[in-house]
Amino acid sequence: MTLQWAGVCLALATFLSIWWGHVGVRILEAKSANIWPPTIALIVAGLALIVYSLFAPNLIVSGVSSMVGITLLWDAFEMYRQSKRIMHKHAPANPNNPRHAALLAQGLATTEDLLDREPTGKPIVLNDQAHSATSNTNVVGDYKKVGA
């Protein structure tokens, strides 16, 4: 029986392109003083791969280039979303990036990675929102656990 390897190849392409895209966007956004040049580069690379997929020699090469192309386009959109996450303190700002440094100076960003913790099963109130916390809140590090 001949095995069909297209699925395994596309599974690897999907997982790796989402994973590296996820990590790459964070790094690229943190290091870019202006997000538009890398965003445009991602759009061009994504479109180029999608066009190439139409002329690829076989299904696997075509599928992998199309899948990676689509994730690069998604990553271009994520560059914008990541910059918004920084402004909402949902992702750590890079103090060496002038764009992030300006937000940090205004108190509109944080250098702390708030996602870098284990789930507790209870809502967490950040210290700068602590005024809205109920009396049964516990301070845990730099955040509060409600009803602990």
Could you give the CA distance from residue 129 to residue 77 in angstroms, rounded to a whole number? 29
By the rule CB under 8 A, 74 interacts with other proteins: yes
The dihedrals phi and psi of 138, each to the nearest 5 degrees, come to -110, 135
Instruction: Map residue 121 onto helix, strand or coil.
Output: coil
The one segment of 2-10, 24-32, 94-102, 103-111 that binds other proteins by CB under 8 A: 2-10
Residue 65 near residue 128, CB atoms below 8 Å:
no
Interaction pattern, residues 31-70, with other proteins; x per rule: CB under 8 A:
-------------------x--xxxx-xxx-xx-xxx-xx
Tokens of 4: 């069909």
Closer of 60 and 103 to other proteins (Cβ): 60
Could you give the CA distance from residue 118 to residue 135 in angstroms, rounded to a whole number? 24
Binding residues vs other proteins (CB under 8 A): 1, 3-15, 18-19, 22-23, 50, 53-56, 58-60, 62-63, 65-67, 69-71, 74, 90, 114-115, 117-126
